[in-house]
Structure 1
Amino acid sequence: MAGLLIADINKIKKPIIKIGLLALVSAYLLTGCTQQVTDKMAFKNGQPNSEKMFMDLSEDKELSASLSKNWNKIDYNKKGITTLKELNILTGVKPLEFAPSFLVNYEKSIYPKEYIEFAQKRGNTVKKYNRIINKKGMDKIDPYFSATHFYEDMKNSYQGVVSAPFYIEFDKDGRVVSALGSYVYKSGKYDIRADCYHTYFSGAKAKIIESIFTKKELEDNLAF
């Protein structure tokens, strides 16, 4: 009797085990498919979800390698444009204090400093320009990107901060290699906080700088 009972239990257990295994396999496959879809969308939208994807999306591998430790702060990386988000570059400032306070905090930020150090290490020169160059560069290098990425909230999003600088990396022949601009998103009416989007241009995007600025325009807007 006991033998029959055990046999019956085993008969029941086998299909249950099979169903369980099928469920596990299905879940694994579904998870894999979901991850593939997620990765494809992230790659397509230029929003890396891993350090490897960040590097795969990059045109200037040397520049990207210098930024890779911050890949999880990358807001966008595609076709020669890399945007790195620095939260709360300003907090609790009054409207009239915004521009001068932004410059002070921007100068303290590690990202412009590391950009200059990186460019110098690869034997190039970095020149710093004023906000006129920053605004025009951010607007003109890729107008579609600026319109879709930066201007979703016209009231609080802008790159015309009075004190915002723009950096350009030149090689030994005076040709543009890369650039670093800034875009700001602010919130609050009286006690303002702001995030800074450090925007790096490389490859073909950086070369556009040579066509939108004259040498005289750059010389006239050097920041000292």
Structure 2
Amino acid sequence: MADKTVYYQGTEFYAMTLIYFFYIGFFVLVYGNIVSFVAEILQRKWFERADWLYVLILGAFGSAIGLVFPVWNFIIAGILVAMLFGIIDKWLLKRWQLDKGNKALFITPFVAFALLWGYYHFASPSLPAHTAEQAVEFATSDSGTSIDRFPEEVGTWQGEIEGYQVKRITAVEKMDEETYMVIFTEEWQKGRVDDSWMMSYEVDRNSSILREEEGDMPPYDK
């Protein structure tokens, strides 16, 4: 079963917040302000004291997200966000009319973001140790390379190719806690012909770098 554990949750929270802010937030800001402007004109003309109706109108227009994402969860979320937008809009207007400061309201989202990021950052599980098996799997994951024919696990394959007795060895050596040297060695023998070829890769969690290559390619691969 695949490991579904999410690591670096703080980074993921930060990235998703930016995505929502720049895409969904931009849509809400532009579309929401247009709808709010129209609703305010209607309110001043027909229902000046009915702020609740202003909020309901914004909620109704918030359901328009269903035209893009025809899913009930998105439609309900659109209605609630639009109504919240209207409530905050009217609340800010009342405070402005009463000459009360709104600094706390603007600071609160940033404080909440910082607290949530800190929580996800420190609550994220630590990465498990990088194992030799994972290093070998990563090194042998590419296709169409000269190491395709080697065992995909630490071990040895033996067989005969065009009359040559061939041995292919996959080995691994630990360099430090995160890095391994994965070594591929091929040996062949036929009569008096006895030769070998070797290639090694330095492998960590995210990269595999060729470090050394010795010998000529086998004659049966030329």
Q: TM-score, normalised by structure 2?
A: 0.22
Structure of greater relative contact order (alpha carbons < 8 Å, 6+ residues apart): 1
Report the structure number with the largest CA radius of gyration: 2
